[in-house]
């Protein structure tokens, strides 16, 4: 019984696939069928090309729009550090060291007489006219005078002249004489 069922299934499959593999071609007499087959093939080719062109056009427009958005973002960048009110508080001295400045009068208003008497390690790295008396937060570099520090903070970039790190604020450095 089991063998008979398998042979019947195989016969049915053979007949089914035999019909699928056979293609009926139109005869020479049937011009309408030939015309219909040619038209349907041409229509399918035109539709495929149209759909492909539409998909390519949409993809191109999306990529073009995205590239324009990227260019707009370059001109309007968000700040790296959140906008804070720039405060310049007075702080007690961080380092108790005596700085020798050659000149007459107060250390803050000292004027230098010649290049031999000047200690360049105490001068502002930007203007070379005043003493270094400010440091930047968060990097901690003490490289500028008060005027140059305020000028740096008023600029758009607000970066430390030593390490190029973004500055949030500057603090006044008060050094006591010993």
Domain ranges for the chain, please list them.
23-77, 84-178
Q: Tell me, what's the pLDDT at 48?
A: 93
Tell me the fold of 84-178: Herpes Virus-1 (3.30.40)
Q: Tell me, what's the pLDDT at 176?
A: 64
**What is the largest distance, in Å, between two alpha-carbon atoms of the chain?**
125
Q: 170 forms bridges with which residues in the sheet?
A: 136
Contacts of 128 (CB under 8 A, 6+ apart): 120
Q: Tell me, what's the pLDDT at 49?
A: 95
Q: Using CA atoms, how far apart are residues 102 and 110, in angstroms rounded to an integer?
A: 7
Q: What's 84's DSSP letter?
A: -
Tens digit of each residue's pLDDT, the chain (178 residues): 556 677 776 776 666 666 555 555 555 557 767 777 777 888 888 999 999 999 999 999 999 888 877 655 444 555 555 455 545 555 555 554 444 444 444 455 555 555 556 677 788 888 888 888 888 888 888 888 888 888 888 888 888 888 888 888 888 877 665 5
Q: Tell me, what's the pLDDT at 104?
A: 46
The CB-based long-range contact list for 136-139 (8 Å cut-off, 24+ gap) reads 136/160, 136/167, 136/169, 136/170, 136/171, 137/167, 137/168, 137/169, 137/170, 137/171, 138/165, 138/167, 138/168, 139/163, 139/165, 139/167
Structure tokens at 38: 């040619």
């Amino acid at each position: 019984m089991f063998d008979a069922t398998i042979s019947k299934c195989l016969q049915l499959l053979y007949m089914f696939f035999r019909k699928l593999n056979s293609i009926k071609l139109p005869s020479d007499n049937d011009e309408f069928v030939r015309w219909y087959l040619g038209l349907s093939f041409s229509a399918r080719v035109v539709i495929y090309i149209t759909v492909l062109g539409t998909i390519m056009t949409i993809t191109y427009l999306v990529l073009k729009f995205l590239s324009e958005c990227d260019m707009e973002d370059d001109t309007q960048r968000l700040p790296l550090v959140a906008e804070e009110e720039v405060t310049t508080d007075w702080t007690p001295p961080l380092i108790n060291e005596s700085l020798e400045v050659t000149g007459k009068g107060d250390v803050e208003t000292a004027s230098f007489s010649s290049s031999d008497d000047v200690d360049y390690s105490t001068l502002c790295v930007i203007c070379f006219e005043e003493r270094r008396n400010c440091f930047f937060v968060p990097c901690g570099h003490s490289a500028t005078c008060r005027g140059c520090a305020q000028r740096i903070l008023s600029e758009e970039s607000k970066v430390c002249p030593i390490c190029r790190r973004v500055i949030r604020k500057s603090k006044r450095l008060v050094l006591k004489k010993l």
